[in-house]
Copies of this chain bind each other. A is one copy, B any other.
């Protein structure tokens, strides 16, 4: 049934704000800047947009943040929602845009995601403690925050499959290599496996260079029907498949720490697209930590479970290799915008004329994007292509 939607909708514009430490910007300002850039990129006017999907900033109020952003941007929406799926949000936003247009609620949707994590506002009304865990059975015992959760998954992967810290280093090094080719990336000094191994523990077995950045910034994409996309100024990038799976909430409920929501989510996305992992020319894989990338590559079927540690070596996931992964530098080395720039980067790669030539995945026609949410609990997938079928 889902394959009815394959190739019927397209991403026709992308926008990326400045990244890094942006103390002079508000979260709302970043949303508006990303929207403006994406709509201009599509060759549209803001009045052409009638739907908006946003992330939910932590300082959210009871009133819809999506409706707030819409009207600040000059959009009068007949569809608006904000999503709270952590790092799975950007992929899920595009899915909601497709569904809402298909249902007739609207015609052209902007999906926008922005956060201020590096220079966070702390005002009295917004000053609640940053909470990201389960307050009864996790936080009081120190199981608090993303790095602790992912360290547990890394430890378990090491136990089950013999994965070592040096294996994770391969992912950090390849990703940094891509960031060095991206002028928008925050971290542009090359690193080696030895640098990774010399970096300090954050939470064992994760070292500093296993961990993503903490950034301010935003990104946006414009989604519309394939029919409308044909008349616009930039090459359309088609939505071929998508999926979601949220296999637990609390880490303590997880059925597995080494097979996550990506397995079911990607199976569904590939099935909808009628494509296999081996058809992909690149992958933008959510990389809050190196272990996340490793687990997701296995879950997506690029290699068997437990074989990721060898599979990622010898340049396979670097540009020029069999499957370039995180061609923008990812959360590890470009900036942490909760995966939104994984989506914009995939679109830009598939346009062929939008990234630096040395950063272009050659003759790419298909790419996959993963999003992964807090406590390893949420997952969403997009399969994108240069052609609708």
- Seen from chain A, the residues whose Cβ lies within 8 Å of a Cβ on chain B are 1-3, 5, 56, 58, 60-68, 70-72, 76-86, 92, 95-96, 98-100, 102-105, 125, 127-133, 135, 242-250, 253, 264-265, 268, 272, 373-375, 377-378
Which B residues are in CB contact (< 8 Å) with A128? 125, 127-128
User: Which listed residue (B5, B246, B248, B377) contacts A103, Cβ 8 A?
Assistant: B5
Q: Which of B71, B131, B253 contacts A71, CB < 8 Å?
A: B253
Contact B104 A86 (CB under 8 A): no
CB-based contact B103/A67 at 8 Å: no
What are 22 residue pairs bridging A and B, where the CB atoms are less than 8 Å apart in the complex?
A3-B104, A60-B60, A62-B130, A62-B374, A64-B377, A64-B378, A67-B85, A67-B246, A67-B377, A68-B250, A71-B248, A76-B247, A77-B244, A78-B246, A78-B264, A80-B244, A81-B81, A95-B103, A104-B268, A105-B243, A105-B268, A125-B135
- CB <8 Å contact, B105 and A98: no
Q: How many copies of the chain does the oligomer comprise?
A: 2
Q: Given A67-B249, A95-B105, A128-B125 in contact, is the A56-B84 Cβ separation under 8 Å?
A: yes
CB neighbours (8 Å) of A1 from chain B are 102, 104
By a CB distance below 8 angstroms, the chain B residues around A131 are 61-62, 125
Give A100 Cβ to nearest chain B Cβ, in Å.
7
A378 contacts which of B67, B272, B377 (Cβ < 8 Å)? B67
Return the 5 tightest CB-CB contacts between A and B, nearest first. Answer: A2-B104, A99-B99, A71-B249, A63-B374, A67-B246
Least CB distance from A76 to B in Å reads 6
Q: Which residue of B lies closest to A241 (CB)?
A: B104
CA distance in complex: A135, B127 (Å): 14
Instruction: State the CA gap A253–B71 with chains docked (Å).
Output: 8
- Asked if A63 meets B129 with Cβ closer than 8 Å, knowing A70-B249, A84-B82, A249-B72, the reply is no
Q: How far is the CA of A83 from the CA of B60 in the complex (A)?
A: 12
CB-defined contacts of A248 to chain B, threshold 8 Å = 71
With both chains docked as a complex, state the minimum distance between the C-beta of A292 and any C-beta of chain B, in angstroms.
16
In this complex, what residue of B is CB-closest to A77? Answer: B246
CB proximity of A65 to chain B, nearest CB, Å: 7
Pairwise interchain contact A2-B105, C-beta atoms closer than 8 A: yes
**Minimal beta-carbon separation of A6 from chain B (angstroms):** 10
With A99-B99, A102-B99, A243-B105 given, is the CB distance from A63 to B84 under 8 Å?
yes
